[in-house]
A and B are shown apart, each in its own frame.
Chain A
Amino acid sequence: MIKRLIFFLTIVIGAIPEPLMAQVQSDMKKIKGGIYVPLYGLDSSNVIVDDFYLDTYPVTNDEYRNYLLKNPSWRKTEVIQLFADQRYLNKWVNDTTFSHSFKGQSPITSISWFAAKAYCKSQGKRLPSVDEWEYAAMASENEPNAQLDSVFQQFIIEGYETPKTSLKEIGQSSPNYWGIHDLHAMVWEWTSDFNSVLISGESRKDVDTDRKLFCAGGSVNATALMNYAAFMRYAIRGSIKANYCMENMGFRCASDIIK
């Protein structure tokens, strides 16, 4: 019996790396790093983003349900209160069944930062940083940096204006330059260091950036639209806490490229 168990374990362990690797290849896309100017940051200097992998799609209801089947501690009746507020999975009928108004291929929402972080860790991944997310998300269908493309910026803002985009299914819209889907026009997404966004003027140094931020609405051109869209995202990041679970906030995972 023990021999059988060891034999079986050997097979299982031996077999893990390959399918996992394959999964990384098919469900994630490589983002080639570079320098970018954050749309809105505390300093206006360039930020260097290294190469990284990013999930092609946001994590779905089906995927999260499968995760809950194996990880009871993150079910809604089991979750530690410190890690998720009352609204965690609030539309789920029970611990492992999501509301019939949701589709399996829609993004998981009503999820806290802690839960998103734990999920990514269970997949051998991590959450993307704000800079990584913004870097990947500034790509339109055709170019890696569409910050100054007014049509693209308009598309992003329209996404913010459309209600209930979280009920859409993933992968229905065109991928961006990197092959990534649904960064816009679907859900807000958690980032590992969202709490690095200080827009409440806690530091004296914030003053300039605040001015920059609010002046952006003064004229209507590509830069203004760009700043407006970025303002929306940064305002969200600056106003949430890690245990918040919102109906229009989901996540996707990232991972380092091992050199």
Chain B
Amino acid sequence: MKTSITPLFILLVFVQLSIGCNSNDETSEYHCPMECEAEKVYADKGSCPVCKMDLVVKEEKVVDDSHEIDPNSIFNLESKWRTQNSDEILLKQLKGDILVVVMFYATCETACPRLIADMKMVHDELGNNKGVNYVLVSIDPTKDTPEKLKSFAIENDLNSQEWTFLNGSVENVREFANVLSVKYKEISPTDFSHSNIISVFDQKGVLQYQREGLGIDNEEIVQEVSKLQ
């Protein structure tokens, strides 16, 4: 008696498996591997009417985390950046923190020091900087290498971990500026003209507040950040 159970059991497992396979097949859609007909799918196997190749099972699109990104979030940008510590990062790696963002360049002698001073003031006034990341993006990526940004951070006492300096390609910096509506132009090999804008993004990367101009009361920025904390 005992000996006859085992084959039966194996048989059952096989039946179970084949049912599993069948049900899987039923839900599959087939499409041309060359996508001759763009998005078109077929319920059954066969060949593509255009290139005559065998249709293949259309693989389910892997759900990546981009679907969770808010449609207005800067984390939709896929650009790569390097930090002052030469770490390669994507913007979405900054997710979860409130971001206080400015665009600047390290050799700037006119407006930037005041912009940086404003950032520092906000940083100091907030006191509790948990969950806040102060992001400084260079508009002069060729000169402001990660090493240069690191020494700038040290010189200006912006070397604690809540300060992030970003260096990106010329094209990616342009794109980033466009998301912030920041305008800038190289007016000589050593000088840039640029908008002085401090932007506040929430934890999802959605722009919540912008302040344009220098030396204006920082209280509003502090309040905006506090609201999000």
A residues near B (Cβ < 8 Å) are 1, 4-5, 8, 12, 42-43, 69-70, 72, 80-83, 113-114, 117, 192-193, 195-198, 202-206, 238, 241-243
Contact call A82/B74, Cβ cutoff below 8 A: yes
Known contacts A82-B71, A195-B174: does B181 contact A241 (CB below 8 Å)?
yes
Residue from the list A1, A42, A70, A238 in contact with B187, Cβ < 8 A? A42
Bound-complex Cα distance A2 to B30 (A): 16
Contact call A8/B193, Cβ cutoff below 8 A: no
Contact call B53/A203, Cβ cutoff below 8 A: no
Contact call B193/A83, Cβ cutoff below 8 A: no
Decide yes or no whether B80 CB sits under 8 A from chain A.
no
Contact call A202/B73, Cβ cutoff below 8 A: no
Quote the shortest CB–CB distance from B35 to chain A (angstroms): 8
Within 8 A of A (CB), among B179-197: 179, 181-188, 193-196
Within 8 A of A (CB), among B5-63: 33-34, 38-39, 51, 53-54
Bound-complex Cα distance A195 to B197 (A): 14
Decide yes or no whether B178 CB sits under 8 A from chain A.
yes
9 smallest CB-CB distances across A and B, nearest first, come from A242-B178, A196-B185, A81-B71, A203-B193, A195-B183, A42-B187, A198-B183, A82-B76, A80-B76
Decide yes or no whether B111 CB sits under 8 A from chain A.
yes
Residues of B within 8 A of A80 (CB): 71, 76
Residues of A within 8 A of B183 (CB): 195-198, 202, 238
Contact call A81/B51, Cβ cutoff below 8 A: no
Contact call B193/A42, Cβ cutoff below 8 A: yes
Decide yes or no whether B126 CB sits under 8 A from chain A.
no
Quote the shortest CB–CB distance from A218 to chain B (angstroms): 25
Quote the shortest CB–CB distance from B59 to chain A (angstroms): 15
**What would 12 A/B residue contacts be, using CB atoms closer than 8 Å?**
A8-B53, A42-B187, A42-B193, A70-B38, A81-B71, A114-B178, A193-B185, A198-B184, A203-B193, A242-B175, A242-B179, A243-B178
Decide yes or no whether B94 CB sits under 8 A from chain A.
no
Residue from the list A70, A192, A195, A241 in contact with B184, Cβ < 8 A? A195
Q: Chain B: how many interface residues by the 8 Å CB criterion?
A: 34
Residue from the list A72, A81, A203 in contact with B72, Cβ < 8 A? A81
Quote the shortest CB–CB distance from B139 to chain A (angstroms): 10
Contact call B185/A204, Cβ cutoff below 8 A: no
Instruction: Using CB atoms, name the residue of chain B closest to A198.
Output: B183
Instruction: Using CB atoms, name the residue of chain A closest to B206.
Output: A82
Bound-complex Cα distance A205 to B191 (A): 11
Residues of B within 8 A of A4 (CB): 53-54
Known: A8-B51, A72-B39, A198-B185. 12 other contacts (CB 8 A): A1-B54, A5-B33, A12-B34, A80-B76, A82-B74, A83-B76, A113-B178, A114-B175, A195-B178, A198-B184, A204-B110, A242-B181
